[in-house]
Amino acid sequence: MKLSRGQKYDMEFDVHRIALYSTVAREHQHKSKKQRLYLHLDMNCFYAQVEQKAFNLYGLPIAMGGWRRPDGTPRGIVVTASYEARQLGIKTAMSAFEAYQICPYIIFLQVDYEKYRGISRRLREILDDFSPEIEKYSLDEYFLDVSFLLGRSSDEIHTFVVKLKAAIYDDLGLVCSVGVAYSKTYAKLASGLKKPNGHVLVLHPDDTAQHLFPLQLDEVWGIGKRRFMKLEGQGIRTIADAFKIGVVPFKKLFGEMQGKLFYEIVTGRDKAKILDVENYVPDEVSYMHTFSDWAVVLDEIEGELVKAVRRVCYRMRGYQRKAKKWSCHIRYQDTTWQGDTFVFTTSGYTNLDKYVRDELLPEAMHRVRVAIKNGHKIRGIGLSTVNMVQIDQLELFFQEEDRIRRLSRAADCVNNVYGVDTVDYAAARNGVKGKTHFVDRK
């Protein structure tokens, strides 16, 4: 069913995700063994590159996510950095203070998420001219099914990639890296081999051996540090090792089905689909906000909790999902970096703010008061669903009040048309003051 203008939910508002999934799951794969060809496009240092163009900062080291206090002290965390900054040793997740120590003249800019969303939408329009099947993996990464190029020569595919990159540069003034391969996994690996502004084609076994065999397995989807350590213990470090040793060690380490899937992924045998992200529904909905400074004012912390409930419930209504079990995390600021996580339940399955607030706030604020009394300062809060069901599930002992449901629907209609923060709770305006990594975050 197509939603009208007043029904269209902004599912990406205040959601700063990197990607929808970390690996290729079985349900994301084609059942047939038909050969396909994929293109992965990665906008190089997207945030920093956009700001370099916007403010004519070409050639200068930029760290996205940091800022300076009035006394000049750097604060925040590096979300990403330009290649000029990376060459100096500045890395993602490094503190702004560390970045400043490496490069005292580094330029700190905050992430203007709405700007990048607009550019990403325009990028998608450009890509529509190059493939009928496109998957938005993140703001700055896209997958294209280019199976119509199967049977073409390497030179013809090279020409196609050059035209694609030229179209993006002519329209947006931005450069990207591209990988083309016979699996999504390999296309993504190939796009990272020649950054910035390069491209790699993996069309034949010889290409795989030349470009991908030397890569360590922890660079592949789903093979994190722990799994890599297990594989390393069996003498399997690289993609070449996986081809040489075979599937058996994978099955022994990770089980019959999961082990086979991991082996297929690292050897380019997976049959991943181009996913319909527009209709994607996550397994859970969550919200996390790390404050730029330590908080001890109770009204401000309560305001952040109210905001978290509103963000989570709004997205759940957009996904047409409800939940009964929820998890809240209160993050402390001290030398141990500890926090307090607790689970709570509502009277029934719901996606209406009132029922979640009524259960969350008394318990959360009690824990906040105890923490502050014990000398802790609060650095952030988080809220997530523990389980979700489709919206049409009926219950015997709980029913949402029709009046509350109508008020929520009316507020959503206004916010969907005029902006998600048009109608808001007064308590949410009492949030913790200060900057975040993102520009204009309310």
Contact yes or no for 430/299 (Cβ under 8 A):
yes
List Cβ neighbours of 201 (8 Å cut-off, separation of 6 or more): 154, 157, 158, 161, 179, 180, 181, 190, 207
The residue behind tokens 């204009």 is 440
One of 84, 141, 264, 302 is an active-site residue; which one?
A: 141
Distance CA 216, CA 223 (A): 10
DSSP string for 297-355: -HHHHHHHHHHHHHHHHHHHHHHTEEEEEEEEEEEE-STT--EEEEEEEEEEEE--HHH
Q: Do 339 and 331 meet the contact criterion of CB atoms below 8 Å apart?
A: yes
Contact 79, 113 (CB under 8 A): no
Cα(388)–Cα(80) distance, integer angstroms: 33
Distances (CA, A) of 259 to 26, 54, 304, 340: 12, 46, 42, 35
Six-digit token string for 286 = 């969550």
Told to judge if 141 belongs to the known catalytic residues of this protein, a careful annotator would answer: yes
Phi, psi of 208 (to 5 degrees): -60, -45
Q: Which residues are catalytic?
A: 141
